[in-house]
A and B are shown apart, each in its own frame.
Chain A
Amino acid sequence: MTETQAKEASITKKVWQLADIMAGAGVGFTDYLTQLTYLLFLKMDRERVEFFLESSAVPDGYRWEDLLKETGEDLLDQYEQTLDVLSRQHGLVGTIFTKAANRIESPVYLEKLIAFIDQQQWLLMDGDVKGALYESILQKNGQDKKSGAGQYFTPRPLVDAIVDVVNPKIGETVTDPACGTGGFLLSAFAHMKDQSLDEKLQRFLRNDALHGCDITPLVVTMGSMNMYLHGVGMHSSPIKCEDSLLKEPQDLSRVVLANPPFGARASGSVEINRPDFIIETKNNQLNFVQHIMTLLERGGRAGVVLPDNVLFEREGAPIREQLLKNFNLHTILRLPTGIFYAQGVQTNVLFFTKGEQTKDVWYYDYRTDVKHTLVSNPLTRKHLDDFVTCYCSDDMTKRKETYDKDSNPNGRWRKYPAEELLKRDQVNLDITWMTEAKSEEECLTMEEVFERMAERVQVIQDAFSKLQKELRHEL
């Protein structure tokens, strides 16, 4: 184990220990995580001044050193005031502290947390180390059912595979209109950052290439911090707290990656008035599909995680027609259950390009006979290797079906001409051709099954007669 790894491990351990202590004081994990984020930001701001002699981004009187001066109830007061003032700031500070409020009501526990953060030097830690550290905490939170934060979390192996095939290039813009803690944006960042040494391109990548929105203040805080720790958006956060669906996007994007929220739009939400939309609906994912269709530049590429109903629901038929006629919906990846926090939801990834017509839709069925669970058999990036290979990201004309009507009817990779799909009732795109593997028993004829049953009965009878001898009359 290298020194940095050891250090990371020991800090992570400490973070969990504190989580337990806080839980004992009634501070839930997600709340703890946000408070940790606020304090960490203040401490790093302080370090920036100390080590790099930069000017503080935080107004005088609300900095780390001001917190250190206080104890007890005075500390609580100071902390609460700090959060209040900073949540009304502009730029990065305002975004990190979006709707910030204190959740640690006991001064003793707040002191503990402050003391822990004060001991470490965070800024000097390698960007990858502190980023990885924070990311690992977010992931753990995402797996924690009790915190409920899992609903914001797309499994990272899936995110990485989507980024690999959509293949954003340095210099391109990447947007996630429902970005959560920033998984897609960061994966895209990691994908692009070694593509060029050109300083201008690197600056663009760090400051202007990535854009994210989310409606939940909590994840905006975590997402922004996540980006900040990875060295993205040092002056203003690429993530904004807003409802993407409310208005037409001002800036179009070259690449869109998203896993929008499923279900109906919450009642009481502001009504959507979007002349650019094809249909009016309460269905969240259909709305996001339409939003993304607008958001893309001509020639722009998208990879979007969507539930099955987008493929067949009556309401969505005109949207599907558009996707086939004015977009190139070239690929649909069908996913198995057991990879998301939400149980039993059947999902797909739709890949499309704006401004060309669809000729064929290529389906990859990673669902039939695939079983994953979050704990005992989680999805890994390796599981998606075959899909990534089939996709032929650098030249889609090289794609070859693995399905063959006669020689391989259970091939996972198969194309359907758009013309045929458009003729289907409701432009239904919910297609499977694979048959679930039958168990050996299911392939037997009735006579054979009867025969085997008789054999089993014989085995049981033999065993019983032997046992009966041992137990005499007691059986």
Chain B
Amino acid sequence: MNFDRMRALLLDRAIHGQLVSQDADDGVVKQIGMTPDADPFTLPKSWRWIKLKELVIPAKQTIPAENFTYIDVSSIKNFQLEGTKRLEPSNAPSRARKVVQEGMVLFATVRPYLKNICIAKNLSCNVIASTAFATMSCSDHLDNRYLFYVLRSDYFTELVKGKQRGISYPAISERDFYACHVPVPPVKEQARIVAKLEEAFAEIDRAKKAYEELQTLAGVLRGQILQEAIEGKLVPQLAEEGVVEQIGGAPEEVPFEIPESWKWVQMNGICTLKSGVDMSPSVLLNEPVINAIPYITGGSQIGQSGELLITRWTSKATNISEEGDVLLICKGSGLGRTALNSYGSVHIARQIMAIRKTKEVIPQYLDLLLKWHWETLRSAAKGVIPGIARKDVLSLLVPLPPVTEQVRIVAKVEELMKQVDGLSA
């Protein structure tokens, strides 16, 4: 969902005069100063291209003499003032110079593409902005909120980008900034544009918030589905599927009750574990050759839906995972994530563990168990030596249903997860 793109589209329409209709009663804007050599784009007949310096009054400069509220670039978040600090004159940065008044528009001329832009509202007394801002109030021909939106538009950002200087500290000079042309509609139309934009942006905010909540809920739901699956509540138990035999000693304490045909077992009873080892870059190949198998380094090579992204091969493989193994990222980025090896033989490096099933369990259910224990594994990895250790995995206590029930559970989980994905996309 690209909410930012939607906002950009709306702004673009607004400054082209296509968001609200023109009204002959609004009159025609009078040209002030020079027109651009060539119009950047066509405007409605009643609009004009006018340089900023003809429309705004830059803020006065001063050296702070009493306590003041300081606005620097980091004080703007999401186009709003946030986290300004109160300073004493003795601690004033040398950049604190511009006297800000209620309703002024601030535009960061340093790294302008970051769009640190805001309208100064609800100010305390004595507010001073950094010289990193073009700080301006508007003349009668310009609504400060309309100006605020124009400065946020992609058109203006691109314009400014073309004029910025410096590589490590890219900035546009105030002179260049105020020389930029902006499209100016009649004042009444400006107000209508602003109202329309505010309404539409509020709608987008609502949608965005709902979307974020949707993602949180989907996460919760996925967890609940997993939990129900592991507790034996997702599919009914069938008498003809028999009863699981206890493997290893039965645990004294169990986390929760499971169906009677199931057993609590330790992971080491139902799988074996192979650790990975790094290989010297000199034996890695960028192209597959005969007898070479893929080399899986770590999290970066396991895709979002658990597929293997193969970029390198080796013909000197030593620690080999086979098809049907569950691969677990035990170190580094993506720690705790799992993927089913459906590819075949691959060499695994140090950041991966291959967990191989025994006959009592199917790979997909093994994968489910590890996903269910994700948090346990992640917190085990927070020790003095970060990373999941062999014993962290092998000592996990897990519920084990009969194999045929496992097949049904896995299918049901897959079906439900698809539904959740469908809802939250």
Contact = CB atoms under 8 A, between A and B. Distances in A.
A462 B291 CA distance: 57
A346 B220 CA distance: 27
B162 to A, nearest CB: 26
Given A262-B384, A307-B384, A344-B382, A446 B210 contact: no
Given A345-B384, A346-B382, A471-B10, A452 B217 contact: yes
B384 A453 contact: no
B207 interface: yes
B383 A463 contact: no
A263 B384 contact: yes
B384 A446 contact: no
Interface of B is mostly: helix
Contact of B383 (A309, A442, A446): A309
* Candidate in B13, B220, B382 with the most chain A CB atoms within 10 angstroms: B220
Contacts of B310: none
B217 A453 contact: yes
Contacts of B217: 441, 449, 452-453, 456
B221 A449 contact: yes
Interface in A420-475: 439, 441-442, 444, 446, 449-450, 452-454, 456-457, 459-460, 463-464, 466-467, 470-471, 474-475
B214 A471 contact: no
Given A457-B423, A460-B207, A475 B6 contact: yes
Contacts of B196: 470
B407 interface: no
Contacts of B214: 453, 456-457, 460
Interface stretch (B45-53, B68-76, B198-206, B262-270): B198-206
B205 to A, nearest CB: 9
A360 interface: no
A453 B220 CA distance: 11
B279 interface: no
Interface in B167-212: 196, 200, 203-204, 206-207, 210-211
Contact of B211 (A446, A460, A471): A460
B391 to A, nearest CB: 11
A118 interface: no
Contact of B221 (A439, A446, A460): A446
A471 B6 CA distance: 9
Contact of B386 (A309, A344, A444, A471): A344
Given A344-B386, A441-B216, A446-B225, A470 B210 contact: no
A308 interface: yes
Contacts of A345: 384
Interface in B7-55: 9-10, 13, 19
Contacts of B13: 470-471
A345 B13 CA distance: 52
A313 to B, nearest CB: 9
A466 B201 CA distance: 11
Interface string B213-224: 110111011011
Nearest to B14: A470
Contacts of B9: 471, 474-475
A475 B384 CA distance: 51
B321 to A, nearest CB: 29
B203 A441 contact: no
Interface in A251-308: 262-263, 307-308
Nearest to A309: B384
Interface in B366-390: 382-384, 386
A429 to B, nearest CB: 16
Nearest to A337: B382
Nearest to B212: A456
B217 to A, nearest CB: 5
A471 B424 CA distance: 24
Contacts of A466: 200, 203
Given A441-B216, A457-B423, A450 B384 contact: no
A471 B14 CA distance: 10
Given A262-B384, A344-B386, A464 B207 contact: yes
Contacts of A346: 382
B221 A450 contact: yes
Contact of A446 (B1, B204, B207, B228): B228
Interface in B239-282: none
Contacts of A439: 216, 220
A459 B382 CA distance: 40
A442 B220 contact: yes
B213 A467 contact: no
A463 B221 contact: no
A449 B224 contact: yes
Contacts of A456: 210-211, 213-214, 217
B203 A467 contact: yes
B125 to A, nearest CB: 21
Contacts of A467: 6, 10, 200, 203-204, 207
Contacts of B225: 446
A288 to B, nearest CB: 15
Nearest to B381: A344
Interface in B336-393: 382-384, 386
A444 to B, nearest CB: 7
Contacts of B1: 460
A434 to B, nearest CB: 14
B10 A470 contact: yes
Given A262-B384, A470-B10, A463 B206 contact: yes
B423 A453 contact: yes
Contacts of B6: 467, 471, 475
B154 to A, nearest CB: 14
* Candidate in A263, A439, A456, A467 with the most chain B CB atoms within 10 angstroms: A456
Nearest to B424: A453
Interface in B313-333: none
Contacts of B228: 446
A457 B203 CA distance: 14
A265 B335 CA distance: 28
A460 B1 CA distance: 10
Interface of A: 262-263, 307-309, 344-346, 439, 441-442, 444, 446, 449-450, 452-454, 456-457, 459-460, 463-464, 466-467, 470-471, 474-475
15 contacts: A307-B384, A344-B382, A439-B216, A441-B217, A446-B228, A456-B214, A457-B210, A459-B206, A463-B203, A466-B203, A467-B6, A467-B203, A470-B196, A471-B6, A471-B10
Closest 10 CB pairs of A and B: A463-B207, A459-B210, A456-B214, A456-B210, A463-B203, A441-B220, A449-B221, A460-B207, A453-B217, A460-B210
